[in-house]
A and B are shown apart, each in its own frame.
Chain A
Amino acid sequence: MIDLSLLEDFILGAGESLEEMEAALLSLETDPENKELLDTIFRDLHTIKGAAQFVGLDKVAELSHVAEDLLDAIRTGEKAATLDIITVLMHSKDRVEVLIEDLERSQTEETEVADLVEKLSAYLNTGPTNTDTTPSTAEAPASNELEEFQDEELSFFLDEEPRKEAAEEEGNELSFLSADSSFLEAGESIKDATDTSFLEIDIPESQDTDDSFLNVEIPSTPSIGFLDVEGEESTEEDSSEIFSYLPTDATEEQTSFLADDSNTESISSSSEVSDAPEEDLTSTLLEGFDNLDASFDSTASSDPGLAIQANEVEEDLTSTLMEGLDNLESSFDSTANPETDAPISAEPEIEAPDLSTEPELSSEQPRFELPEEEHDQELFGIFIQQLQDKLSLINEVTQSLAITENKAESLTPCIETIKALKFSSNYMGYEALTNLYSVWLSRIDQAQSDLLMDAECSLEFMHTYLQELNEIFPQLHALSSEKNTDEITVSAIDNLAADEGHLAFIEGLIEDEQPQDDKTPEKIIEPVEKPTIAKDPAPSFIADIEAKEEDDEEDQLFKRLSSALDSSIQESIVADPINEVFDALLAASEIESPAVQAIQPLKIKTLEQANLEIIPEPESPEPVAEVTAKVETISELDIQTLADQQELEAAVQLGIQDNQPAQLPATKKADKAKTAIAPKKQKATEKVFKKSIRIDSDKIDSLMNQVGELIVNRASFFQLAGEIVTLQQDLKESGLAAKELKLVRAFAYRFGEAIISLGRTSNELQEGVMTVRMLPIAQLFNRYPRLVHDLAHTHHKKIELLIRGESTELDKMIIEELSDPIIHMIRNAIGHGLETPEQRRESGKPETGTLTLEAYHESNHIVIEVRDDGRGIDPEKIRAKALAKGLFSSEELARMNSKELNRFIMMPGFSTADKIDSTSGRGVGMDVVKKNIEKLNGSIEVDSKLGISTTIRLKIPLTLAIIPALLVRVSTNFFTVPLANVEETLRVNRSNISVMEDTEVMYLRGKTIPIFRLSHLFSIPSDLTRESLEYFVVIVNTGAGQVGFMVDELLGQEEVVIKPLADYLQDNSGFSGATIIGGGRISLIIDVNELSNIAKNSQIEKHQDQESKSLASLDLK
């Protein structure tokens, strides 16, 4: 099944990859050892394969997969990149292209790939070292698929990032996410559990409070239940603990801290806080820090339990947890099992990304001001639609789960659906969502296996996930309709905060479950710490995906929030000690118990350091105020304002001073660790923001049309301005009073000014729209290396292709029109121009011929040159041919210079080639080129030096839709001559015009130029009479030399919008279109080439006519 909406994107994306791949393959031929090229090709193949698998294109995926394997073998040095292999790869690339063409046409892969797959496999299997990569290449192992796929998709999005790192990162993100989402869920279920099972504890508080409060309160609650201690006491400790460890998340924690205080009201310090939270914060904090010391002492005793836990985590989480859970109330039993394993496995992996991103966040804050990546509305709409559909599908299944017997089987369609969802969200770049799906999938997977083994298993989580998705969904939907409104982002953040609350809660639960026998209240410290760490990856994870995930507003804002907080507290701190603390702490908690003891002072030291450095620069940066304000609204809690935060900093500092000195070396060590990781991260964030958007070209065309109309209107305004001046003159002459005349003059002046400013704006607008349509000619030139390569092979010639000026920009329409002509010219150059290596050697040239494609601007034109250093065009051959064809007499031909002679090669059927081959020689090519170029109002020039070089120069106007033109009048008819064709305009005396063979001619700088009266050509009346002494003549350049057109009046130059005429009016009429000039009048645009041809033909006919007439009259006599 192929998803049509995605197919289009795939075709585009694959096209780009194929282009790059082709270029790389071509260069690989000359440089087979180049690792970079191999990597490029590999990456492109990989991208195509990944995308193809995603879209469901089996053949493309298969072919690219095998090709990729072969390339991998080359890359690892097992195979040499021989010419054969490159050729096969090239063919594979072509085949993929064919397949994509199939897809464009019929949405199916029609062309077979088996032969190439076989060939590639053959190459892979034969050769000096046959490796174990082979078996895996034959067919993509299904088991690896998922893993591979993720891997590849990520590299698809990360683009340049090394794959290994990408995979690693995804792993981290994944685990983080899994942790996040499962916490959420577990949080909910446990909340229920606490409600029912631990009624003896003062629970209501935890429910009254907000999400952030849950963060602190809930983790402690279960422990309280088990450990039989005073809940309030431990809560207080928890919060202060968190606070001291986590200045990064100060506001967040502070919030919970305060909320805690104000709600519980049972702690000694809390009364102070709630009475005057702003004033007495300092003392509260101090108290918190005092408690801290005590807690640390007791933490040590609980360490063995932690160590055990860490080990268990590594080894067999599920079973251990099951055991631990057995001790819990029965309600826990079923829900917690599937949920707990994910978060725990996630933990060890969290540290790495977490650390390195933190400093970046604070230092790279300005980044947020950059424009956000464009958001494909259409695709998004499809995505949302799909999400909706699939969710309802899953919902159905989930509903039915409750009643079906065979639960495991009925889950299967769910897996399929979620997989599809995951692919699409991955495609869209919503990694958070993707990861959510991943976790979900693994969860279902486990549930399924559990069910098969008749294990006790609840499928409650299905509902939870659905609920979660439904919560996310409206936000996404809202985002799609109106981007970036505050309400949405705020609610998004809110949601995230809630997630964290759950997350923290669950984390706490997990920790608590393990050492149930250990009934020291201090035990709680660790669990509470954990959540804060687990939470930390959020920003880093976001930083990771930030570049790609532009529309995930909640992440965005959260990142901004955390980084701002970060900087508010750690501003001016070069290192980021806090993170090291977490790192060390986490590591310690995993490895050995003594380490925890070591961390304890270290933590304090780093905090101290942080604050010491804050002191010299106490002022917080601007954004902090803003973000803090946001946090306030978001959390819906009584959060302190910026002022409070600064107080808080002071408090932290004070608190620290009470603490013991720390171990410096440890900090340094952590420092090192951090710097080692940092550069790795840098790469991801450095990723260039993509600023381009894709727009339907029709839209641009219609915009262009409207701008054209505007230009026309402007022209009529100018005309009006002129009329007003005349009017003013008339009024003056009619004897209007000076006073009234003054008014008129003032008005005329203001009117003129207004028009000038209108003109300026519309000019800019026109230019702007025109640049939108402009594309670098590289788009065109990049198509030719392959052509040259193939032609060089068939002709057994050595050719080097030089491309210059590929960044020259040109109207997209023109680029398309130029493609074929340039192909013809290249074929000519290679077929006729360039000699074989032997011939070249004989004539003393280097064996390798050079073919140059060059583009450059020349005033309002773009010039494209195709130049070869081959044998050139022999004027004698042309003369002979022209004579043989009876085109001209030998005398005439002798008089012609080479430029004039070269024009003959553009005549149909005129070929100087001795033999016709597959490439060229039929004499059609240059004729086609000429036709095409003239269609573009362009001109073509052939310049050749015999034995040295041939240059074909195409001169093309920059754009087609609007052209500068000369307006002329013949009687009441207005005509427009494209300025591109106008050589000069003359006022000619009658005496300067003579008649030669019934054709009027004039001599201009030694040249004889035929003059045609437009009135005659068009059979229209003219103002000119036989008595007229002066004529206006427009000298134009045509393909066949200069021609003069006689008109009644020259009206001036104007920008005109070309509008097409009905075909039966345009063909062979001498007009290339029409335009609307001032006053809504229509002026026909003269096609000078066609018109001069018509004129010449009519002259010839007339001539023959007269001859026959005179013959007839002779006969009569």
Chain B
Amino acid sequence: MADTYASRIADADKEHLIQMVGFKIGEEIFGVDILMVQEIIRSANITYVPNSPEFVEGVINLRGSIIPVIDLRKRLNLETDDYSQDRDWILILDIAGRVTGFIVDWVTEVIKVQEDHIEPPPEILVAGLHSQYIKGVCEIADELLIFLDFNRILLIDEIKTLSSMSERVDPEEV
């Protein structure tokens, strides 16, 4: 009895499952650890924040808290030409205490992935995406799921903030 239990535990350990929320931007499938996801909302009223980095769409009022919303497509420098109509999903993520919203094309489903199935990001660009934002990739139903590193995404944007701020100080449209 005890043996089977122990072995079951070991099995569970071996095939340690990671649950991910899958979402799409364009044709690519991305995943984010489900534990990071605070909620998923649609059609929020986004208030534009002037002089903010380009990828910041604005802020939303989430039950009294003011939360910045980042356009993930812009943030990841994915091709922005094919703006689809239903781009109104916002993933609210809690990234090390910083609650931030990310606009994605649509949220697909919760995906369970065995941890050992996730492979480190390849050296080359995946879908025009720098590998620094990628935690790993794994194959699901013949498609490549990109496991994003949101800590990195938010960290880099701080650096970016500074540069983009100095760029944007000068309004050309006077």
Contact = CB atoms under 8 A, between A and B. Distances in A.
Contacts of A973: 47-48, 50
A1065 B59 contact: yes
Given A1061-B66, A1076-B64, A1102-B170, A1068 B165 contact: yes
B174 interface: yes
Contacts of A1019: 50-51, 171, 173
Given A1080-B61, A1098-B170, A1102-B174, A1062 B45 contact: no
A1084 B49 CA distance: 8
B125 interface: no
B61 A1081 contact: yes
Contact of A1016 (B59, B66, B173): B173
A1070 interface: yes
Given A1062-B100, A1097-B169, A1084 B61 contact: no
Contacts of B170: 1098, 1101-1102, 1105
Given A1080-B45, A1098-B170, A1017 B50 contact: yes
B67 to A, nearest CB: 8
B52 interface: yes
Interface in B95-123: 98, 100
A700 B6 CA distance: 50
A205 interface: no
Contact of B171 (A709, A1063, A1065, A1098): A1098
A1094 B169 CA distance: 7
Given A1074-B59, A1082-B59, A1061 B49 contact: yes
Contacts of B52: 1064-1065, 1069
A1081 to B, nearest CB: 7
A1020 interface: yes
A1059 interface: yes
B48 A1065 contact: no
B50 A1061 contact: no
A1018 B50 CA distance: 5
B65 interface: yes
A1094 to B, nearest CB: 6
Which of A1017, A1062, A1097, A1105 has its CB near the most chain B CB atoms (within 10 A)? A1062
Interface in A489-532: none
A1107 to B, nearest CB: 14
A1071 interface: yes
A25 to B, nearest CB: 45
B31 interface: no
A619 interface: no
B157 to A, nearest CB: 6
Contacts of A1060: 66
Contact of B53 (A1064, A1070, A1084): A1064
Given A1016-B171, A1062-B98, A1064-B157, A709 B64 contact: yes
A1114 B170 CA distance: 24
B60 interface: yes
A536 to B, nearest CB: 62
A1067 interface: yes
A63 B67 CA distance: 53
A1070 B50 contact: yes
B15 interface: no
B50 A1062 contact: no
Interface in B119-174: 157-158, 161, 165, 169-171, 173-174
A1081 B49 contact: no
B91 to A, nearest CB: 16
B51 to A, nearest CB: 5
A613 B113 CA distance: 95
Contacts, number: 89
A1068 B45 CA distance: 24
A425 B45 CA distance: 59
Chain A interface category by residue count: 20 to 34
Contact of A1101 (B50, B67, B169): B169
A1070 B66 contact: no
B56 interface: yes
A1059 B67 CA distance: 10
Contacts of A1062: 59, 67-68, 98, 100
Nearest to B161: A1064
Interface in A1087-1117: 1094, 1097-1098, 1101-1102, 1105
Contacts of B68: 1061-1062, 1064-1065
Contact of A1081 (B47, B157, B158, B173): B47
B66 A1074 contact: yes
A1074 B52 CA distance: 14
A1069 B51 contact: yes
A990 B89 CA distance: 44
Interface in A678-737: 709
A1080 B165 CA distance: 28
Interface string A221-253: 000000000000000000000000000000000
B157 A1018 contact: no
A1067 B168 CA distance: 13
A1063 B53 CA distance: 12
Which of A998, A1074, A1082 has its CB near the most chain B CB atoms (within 10 A)? A1082
Which of A1019, A1070, A1071 has its CB near the most chain B CB atoms (within 10 A)? A1019
B132 to A, nearest CB: 18
A1048 B140 CA distance: 53
B65 A1059 contact: yes
Interface string B26-58: 000000000000000000010111111100100
A1069 B50 contact: yes
B117 to A, nearest CB: 34
Contacts of A1070: 50-51
Contacts of A1061: 49, 59, 66, 68
B45 A1084 contact: no
A927 to B, nearest CB: 21
B173 A1082 contact: no
Nearest to A999: B174
B48 A1020 contact: yes
A71 to B, nearest CB: 50
Given A973-B47, A1080-B61, A1094-B51, A1067 B174 contact: no
Contacts of B45: 1080-1081
B158 A1098 contact: no
A1071 B49 contact: yes
B65 to A, nearest CB: 7
A1056 to B, nearest CB: 12
A617 B130 CA distance: 98
A1018 B51 contact: yes
A1059 B63 CA distance: 13
Contacts of A1082: 47, 59-61, 66
29 contacts: A998-B174, A1018-B50, A1019-B51, A1019-B171, A1019-B173, A1060-B66, A1061-B49, A1061-B68, A1062-B68, A1063-B158, A1064-B52, A1064-B53, A1065-B59, A1069-B50, A1069-B165, A1070-B50, A1070-B51, A1071-B51, A1074-B47, A1076-B61, A1076-B66, A1081-B45, A1082-B47, A1082-B60, A1084-B47, A1094-B169, A1101-B169, A1102-B170, A1105-B170
Interface of B: 45, 47-53, 56, 59-61, 64-68, 98, 100, 157-158, 161, 165, 169-171, 173-174
Given A1059-B66, A1064-B158, 19 more contacts: A1018-B50, A1019-B50, A1019-B171, A1061-B59, A1062-B67, A1063-B158, A1064-B52, A1064-B68, A1068-B169, A1069-B49, A1069-B50, A1069-B51, A1071-B51, A1076-B61, A1081-B47, A1084-B47, A1094-B51, A1098-B170, A1101-B169
